[in-house]
Amino acid sequence: MKLLRMTATFGRLEQETLSLTEGLNVLQMPNEAGKSTWAEFLLAMLYGIDTSEREKTGVLPVKTKYQPWSGKPMEGVIELEHAGRRITLTRTSTARAPLGVFSAAYTESGLPVEGMTGANCGETLLGVPKRVYQRSAFVRQAGLGLTPDDELEARLSALVTTGDEAVSFAAADKRLLAWQNRVRHNKTGLIPDAERELAAVDSALAALAGEHEKNLALRAQLQSLQAQQTACEEDLRALQAAQAQRKKAQLYDAKRAAMQAANRENAASAVCARLPREDALAALSQEAAALLALPEQEPAAAAPARPDCPQAFSGVDEERLLDKAQRDMREFDRLTAKKHRPSVPFWVLAVLLLGLGAAGWFLRHEPLLPAAFALAALVCAVAALGNAAHDRRREAELSEAQALLTLYENHSRDEFYAYAVQYRDALRAWQAACEAASAQNAARDAESRLRAERTAALLGSVRMFAEAGTVREAQNAIASALAAYRAWHEAEQTAQQAKTRYDALAQALGEIPELPAPVRDVSGLTTEQAQAALARTQALAAAVQSQLDQSRGRLEQFGSEAELSAKKQALAQRLDTLNERREALTLARQTLAQANAALAERFSPRLVREASEIFSELTGGRYARVQISRQMELEAGQPDAAMRRSLFLSGGTADELYLSVRLAVCRLLLPEDAPLLLDDALVMFDDDRLRLALRLLQREAENRQILLFTCQHREQKALTTDL
């Protein structure tokens, strides 16, 4: 058989399709992508879903675990090739049977496959029932280990017998054991039942003789108890009459107490009728407490002093302070902008030029040269006079600049603006302080007025029902009024309780019957004692009557002595027959166990040899031997070492051992083309043994289709690089 395509609405799969090829299919999918879901879907499509499966601890049944996440019913289609023809398997669901509607048809013609049903589909295509397929070719990482199974054992046994797969040692031994246990199992079975029945007959014969004497004794005891019961009933009637008289007195006292409580309630109600309502008093009490809790008023806040005005800003508004500072800065810059111009060098030069002109006149007596020197000297003198005038103006302006610095308290020119900002901020702070003081005084005045108004309102309300001149006196008056209300409520509650007690007592006592005065002296006796004595006497009489009735019944049940003797003889014969049958069943089980041991010696070597060869290949020759018990307990051993149970092997080696046995079972029991499914079965293999396993699977895939589901990339990588 070869799977071609699967389409599933199953679990997380929603109309998803998986296409397959012949040989080895490596299907790499991440976690939660549906690997295990595809595997379980294939099993469900081939063998159906067991609707009788129930939830176990930590394990959900398939019908529940793989309900489609979309809420749709389960359905699926598988296209496969079997015996040279393509077949399409379809399963849909009903309300009570998930995947319970089955059809199988030839893909080309659409004609149904004759004889293939939903119940036999898997065994028809794969040649083995579901439990054998699950323990051989359906390999999952979470269930690699093998468990014993009757069908698997029967098929293995058929390899070396006549081929009859309907018989297994476990099933036959189980049936013989059931028959043996039916005859006798500890204290249950046919033999113990017969022994108990025989003992019961013997006991009946022994008890029959003494039952007549016991019957007579019970009759005499019953007459004595009936006389005691009559005396107890008379005592109880006398006690009931005395109790009725006590109830009447108790009811009268309760009624009188209720009337007195009602009178006290009326008096308190009359007092409160002259007072305001209780909620109004409570509000007044809260108002008085609030007024008394108010703190004393603080004195009015004084106005803060205005900051001193610097000379530079005298008469300047706050808004123009910064402009004034900037103008003064520009004026200061203007006054200090002129530079010093020297005049002495020009005077010296003029004198020197005049000397040179005079010298030229005396030496050469030419008028032009002295005139030129005189003109140059005149120019120098004019320049010297101009510089002197410029320096006088400069000194005057520097004096004005110094005066300006004095107005700014000798701050530098660059500090004029900051000085103005500082004064402006001081003015604003003073103004804010003045506004805060004014607001504080206004709030104080408003609070004072409100306090006076609240006090007047409180005193006015209190004076309507009491004298009060101060808040403290008003509070005391209100407290007295509230105390009156509390006294009224307590009186009202007391009256209600007294009335409730009276009503409850009247209801509990009910109608008190008019009984005559007691004629018997029952002063030392209570009703409970009398009732208990009567109950004991009645119980004893009933018990004796019951024993008497039982005695009569037993006498009727015993029957005649002849009938009991005949029954005893028949039971003895039956015990002899059952003991002979039990001995025959024991001998049959022993003979079957001997035959089973001989059979195990014949089929076990073939399975062991096949599994040993596979395990040796998977471990690279490290392990050469495998042993398998009929209970599917596995052992493995190295060539020159003792055998070790699978529990003592590493996790990866144990998985390799389980896979070896499963592949051996596949080769021995399944058809050559039955597909092999592995779901994360190689995750525990190291890289070297993974490559060995993949080589083995590739050879196995030459004859059968293999579906290898994995969540890792290393299988595909190993196939593409190493193989």
Q: Which CATH number fits domain 1-127+672-723: 3.65.10.10, 3.30.360.10, 3.40.50.300, 1.10.579.10?
A: 3.40.50.300
Average pLDDT rounded to a whole number, residues 216-235:
82
Nearest to 32 by CA among 11, 9, 5: 11
Residues 6+ apart with CB under 8 A from 510: none
β-pairing, 85-92 vs 75-82, is antiparallel
d(CA 220, CA 17): 92
Q: Match 């059979």 to its residue by tokens.
A: 599
The pLDDT confidence band at residue 324, using thresholds 50, 70 and 90, is confident
d(CA 500, CA 476): 36
β-pairing, 634-637 vs 625-628, is antiparallel
Number of alpha carbons in the 13 Å side-chain half-sphere of residue 164: 5
CB 390 within 8 Å of CB 342 = no
d(CA 648, CA 634): 11
Percent of the chain predicted with pLDDT > 70? 91
Nearest to 564 by CA among 166, 215, 78, 211: 211
Most confident of 102-111, 134-143, 180-189, 382-391: 102-111
User: Looking at per-residue confidence, does 586 or 591 come out higher?
Assistant: 586
Residue 684, φ and ψ in degrees, nearest 5 = -90, -5
d(CA 493, CA 261): 9
d(CA 358, CA 368): 12
CB 649 within 8 Å of CB 679 = no
Residues 6+ apart with CB under 8 A from 478: 281, 284, 285, 288, 462
List 103's β-bridge partners, or say none. Answer: 90
Tens of pLDDT, residue by residue over 462-497, are 888 888 888 888 888 888 888 888 888 898 899 899
Check residue 93 and give its pLDDT. 94
Structure tokens of 406? 């004095």
Percent of the chain predicted with pLDDT > 90? 20
CA dihedral 652, 653, 654, 657 (to 10 degrees): 130
Query: Could you give the angle at the alpha carbon of 42 between the alpha carbons of 37 and 44, nearest 5°?
Result: 90
Check residue 602 and give its pLDDT. 47
Residues 6+ apart with CB under 8 A from 150: 168, 170, 171
Tens of pLDDT, residue by residue over 648-701, are 888 889 888 888 888 988 888 888 889 999 998 888 999 999 999 999 999 999
List 76's β-bridge partners, or say none. Answer: 8, 91
Nearest to 312 by CA among 395, 411, 394: 411
Tens of pLDDT, residue by residue over 422-449, are 878 888 888 888 888 888 878 877 877 8
β-pairing, 138-140 vs 75-82, is unpaired
Q: Which amino acid would we find at residue 54? A: R
The pLDDT confidence band at residue 190, using thresholds 50, 70 and 90, is confident
Structure tokens of 252? 């009268």
CB 135 within 8 Å of CB 665 = yes
Residues 6+ apart with CB under 8 A from 341: 386, 387, 390, 391
